[in-house]
Structure 1
Amino acid sequence: MAGQGRAIALSFHGAARNVTGSCHLLEAAGRRILIDCGMFQGEADSDRLNRAPFGFDPATIDAVVLTHAHLDHCGRLPLLVARGFQGEVLCTRATAELAQVVLLDAARIQEEDAEREAERALRAGRAPRPPLYGLDEACAALASFGRALRYGRSYSLGAGLTVRLIEAGHILGAAQAVFDLPAPDGTGRRRLVFSGDIGNSGRPVLRERARPPEADWVVMETTYGDRNHRSFEESARELIEAIRATIARGGKVVIPTFALERAQELLFILSRAVVAGDLPRKLPVYLDSPMAITATAVFRRHPEAFKLPFRRELMAGADPFRLPRLKLTREVEASRRINRQEGPAVILAGSGMCTGGRVLHHLRHNLWREEASVIFVGFAAKGTLARQIIDGARTVQVLGETVAVRAQIHTINGFSAHAGRDELLAWHAQTGRPEITFLVHGDAEGGMAAMAQALERRGLATCRPRLGERFVLAETSPLQASGRKHTSPRRH
């Protein structure tokens, strides 16, 4: 590569004009640092993208800086290791604990799906499709996790590069990543800031995100770059009212739930509503997600991550996640029994975008019932079952069956762990006036396009990179040697 070793370059290998698959490669001072290594989800060609070559040689990567433990940020780490990565994965301690839960669960699901696929392939007389990776590969990836980074401290990545993680306010352990780099021409240092996923403020459990520093270059998520969220309290009231209306009809409430953060916040809201008398104490609530159950235990081990009122409650011995009739269903048979129970109930089950997991069984049993409700409380990418239902499909395919959509459908976006449009713009303003802002992790025609327009109206340069594109941010050149700086990024 031209300029390698003397240039600062950035290439994009996921979440490029796409919402998922975050994976970005930073090259500086001869070091190669990967920021996130996530799985593509929801799109029709996600499986192909996940199995495809990375666009770089994993054996040449010196380290991975992981911003947080969502699958679309960490889900391809087992592939990275299997294909030759021998470096260190760096992240916060909470992220490392949650990544273990996420990667082992993802491997288990892929192995189970591969077994079912092998049976279908045998009947059809064709070769079976192997899993993307299994438990062995996931365990090998977890063995690569090294130093646990503390918020606010700088850590060396070698050759004069440092990284500093600061609170993102997104999920437990999530971080923004600040890289300080030696300038290729030897005239000081340059700074690159990765937003990671920027948290939505005003939520009751986690601390608010930290203020980012001013930067020369920024890589920024744009998931909700085209709209704002309702307030958390308004959204909580809407959720409780939807549940009360469903109880009155005698139906069940199915909430497709992200296991990290969303499940815990929903338990907190429901617990608070029961204490206030807004929901009956006898209402059965099922947390039907082994991963969410384990993640909730991780949350309890990290009171330092919580806002002070929530932390005080936890430290006083109270359990903000506990409900009178909360049932944690780890076993498959216990999950099946939920739909054999008569009467109203609230079912929290993964996954949030309905791309797999136990929520599919609950949708098959309840989506066609007029007395039931399905409540979506997070982002649904294009191509996912969740998005089809939200967009008003009359019938959908669930586990190979055609199911009519007759249940009441609610979409409540105020629970999102992602910042809305105005908060994204406020976050970016704190980075000063960077030379260029790369927009990632968003709908190319939605949030990403809207954020580009908003920043460009402020006179700021933006770029929406395509998958595999590489940009030279700064390099030693004859112009620089003569005292003139060459700072405009160029495609390579």
Structure 2
Amino acid sequence: MDIQFLGAAGEVTGSCHLLRVNGRRILLECGLIQGTRQAEARNAKPFPFKAAEIDAVILSHAHIDHSGRLPLLYKSGFRGPVYTHGATRDLCSIMLRDSAYLMEKDAEWDNRKRQRKGLEMVQPLYTRRDAERVVELFSPLDYDSEIEVVPGVRLRLRDAGHILGSAIVELWLEEKGVRRKVVFSGDLGHRGAPILRDPVQVKDADLVLMESTYGNRLHRSWEATWQELGEILEKTRRDAGNILIPAFAVGRTQELLYLFGLNYERWGLDRWDVFLDSPLAIEATEIHARHTELYDREAARENHINGSLFALPNLHISRTAAQSMRLNRISAGAIIIAGSGMCNGGRIKHHLKHNLWRHNCHVIMIGFQAAGTLGRQLVDGATHIRLWGETIRVGAEVHTVGGLSAHADQQGLLDWYCGFRDHPPVVLLHGEPEAQEQLGARLEAECGGARVIRPEPGERLDLTHLPNR
């Protein structure tokens, strides 16, 4: 009985952990590595296991850094069930298809150049057909229901409050009379966030696997965040420019639309045109509108009163490329919400090309930016960026609004872990080394001398002989 940490060990993306119990193999997550070209090239390396020998996958939520290699797992021979929340299945049906489409287009673009040079053609990492086929293997669960995954392994999903359908994973394991309970946080939500409920507090575990994305920082209060957004809107209006918001299609986009509705008069949004310029985000918003049973009390009330959380009188939906290109002619008065959230692809790159050099443009960064991404360059204060071989000067003002994060901050992570009885050993995952180091120090100092483990990639942990608490 052991667990091996194959991804998101000492880094944020590429979550993947292999659990072995009673000769069975269960994969926790199968995520895509994101960041630099060198980092993303690791996605094409063979899995360190035989895909056909994986008995089941447990998926905490739909974000691509947790789910994005599932189509490759299918392509490599996996045919078992994928256990996840029903809303996660719905989101993965569009997100994995979109991921595959981008890979197919990248391969097509690359092959045009390779053909002219007489080079061998390349294949996409996986195709839309692979994505569609793996989604057919999804076995949807409700929160709080309990099932047997394989003999000796029982599973229950709890609400993680991170994105729609996100789950904390509770696992009860038994092998040769040895019983262990392992709790995997997945990605924990930011308490008090719009739309979704707060993360469930789990009380008992023999081992906790916990994310640490924001283990070295604290978010601003929600009220301070609302004030900050209002001030940016007002400043940009005085500057007579546009606002660009690189937004993750799932979660952050829907929160923004909801917040715009709640603060429509307070933020003077009637003086703007709001453009949702992302086909994926449009589909994700439609899925959010169907899963009203997952809303928190306030959002459920607003939805009952207004009929939708996401309708604005000045919201324009840009589904087609032609509609998106027309936005390039607007020099002022537009709020453009477009993906991708880390600026590594999608329509936001075109809007950056046409606006980033303007001094009256403002860019609002509202999510985590992985090392090596274009978004990280902007957050770190780059004065110039490269887009399609062209150098673009950064004249715009770039704002990082960390208070809108969908992740728990350092205090939120501490509070969640300290809610466990007897302070079980905790494995820190899904975080950069500095974040893990700072969070680990506080866990040891403030949470009953917690035993903190920061695994190396590929490291195995024997669950029959857990470290002393």
TM-score range, shorter chain: over 0.9
> Displacement of 1:186 after TM fit?
1.1
Cα distance in 2 between the residues matched to 1:451 and 1:370: 38
Tell me which amino acid in the other structure corresponds to 1:68: H
> Displacement of 1:225 after TM fit?
0.4
Cα distance in 1 between the residues matched to 2:91 and 2:128: 16
Residues 91-102 of structure 1 correspond to what in structure 2 (within 5 A)? 91-102=84-95
Residues 65-76 of structure 1 correspond to what in structure 2 (within 5 A)? 65-76=58-69
Deviations 1:192-220 (A, max 9, x none): 00000010001121111111131101111
Q: Secondary structure at the match of 1:339?
A: helix
Percent of counterpart pairs with the same letter? 43
Instruction: Name the residue aligned to 1:262.
Output: 252
Instruction: Name the residue aligned to 1:32.
Output: 25
Cα distance in 2 between the residues matched to 1:420 and 1:378: 12
Instruction: Name the residue aligned to 2:161.
Output: 169
> Displacement of 1:122 after TM fit?
2.4
Between 1:86-95 and 1:115-124, the stretch displaced more is 115-124
Deviations 1:213-268 (A, max 9, x none): 31101111000001110122321221121122112111110000001110001111
1:453 corresponds to 2:441? yes
Cα distance in 1 between the residues matched to 2:268 and 2:112: 45
Instruction: Name the residue aligned to 1:477.
Output: none
> Displacement of 1:313 after TM fit?
2.2
Q: Secondary structure at the match of 1:10?
A: strand
Out of 141, 145, 154, which is 1:149 matched to? 141
Q: Is the 8 A contact 1:250 1:343 kept in 2?
A: yes
Residues 194-273 of structure 1 correspond to what in structure 2 (within 5 A)? 194-273=184-263
1:347 corresponds to 2:326? no
> Displacement of 1:74 after TM fit?
0.3
Unaligned 5+ segments in structure 2 are: none
Instruction: Name the residue aligned to 2:105.
Output: 112
Instruction: Name the residue aligned to 1:293.
Output: 282
Instruction: Name the residue aligned to 1:3.
Output: none
Tell me which amino acid in the other structure corresponds to 2:438: A
Between 1:358-367 and 1:118-127, the stretch displaced more is 118-127
Q: Secondary structure at the match of 2:147?
A: strand
> Displacement of 1:125 after TM fit?
3.4
Instruction: Name the residue aligned to 1:482.
Output: none
Cα distance in 2 between the residues matched to 1:398 and 1:380: 18
Residues 380-459 of structure 1 correspond to what in structure 2 (within 5 A)? 380-444=369-433, 446-457=434-445, 458-459=448-449
Instruction: Name the residue aligned to 2:327.
Output: 338
Tell me which amino acid in the other structure corresponds to 1:416: S
Q: TM-score, normalised by structure 2?
A: 0.96
Q: In the superposition, relative to structure 1, how do residues 312 and 122 fare at CA in structure 2: closer, same or farther (>3 Å)?
A: same
Instruction: Name the residue aligned to 1:462.
Output: 452
Deviations 1:23-72 (A, max 9, x none): 11111122211111110001342332111112111111111111000000
Q: Secondary structure at the match of 2:91?
A: helix
Cα distance in 2 between the residues matched to 1:211 and 1:439: 18
What root-mean-square deviation, in Å, do the aligned CA atoms of Structure 1 and Structure 2 show?
A: 1.5
Instruction: Name the residue aligned to 1:488.
Output: 467
Q: Is the 8 A contact 1:198 1:419 kept in 2?
A: yes
Cα distance in 2 between the residues matched to 1:360 and 1:421: 31
Q: How many residues align?
A: 466
Instruction: Name the residue aligned to 1:41.
Output: 34
Q: Secondary structure at the match of 2:181?
A: strand
Out of 163, 173, 177, which is 1:186 matched to? 177
Q: Secondary structure at the match of 2:463?
A: strand
Q: Is the 8 A contact 2:289 2:309 kept in 1?
A: no
Q: Secondary structure at the match of 1:254?
A: strand
Q: Is the 8 A contact 1:282 1:324 kept in 2?
A: no
Q: TM-score, normalised by structure 1?
A: 0.92
Cα distance in 1 between the residues matched to 2:218 and 2:421: 22
Q: Is the 8 A contact 2:277 2:347 kept in 1?
A: yes
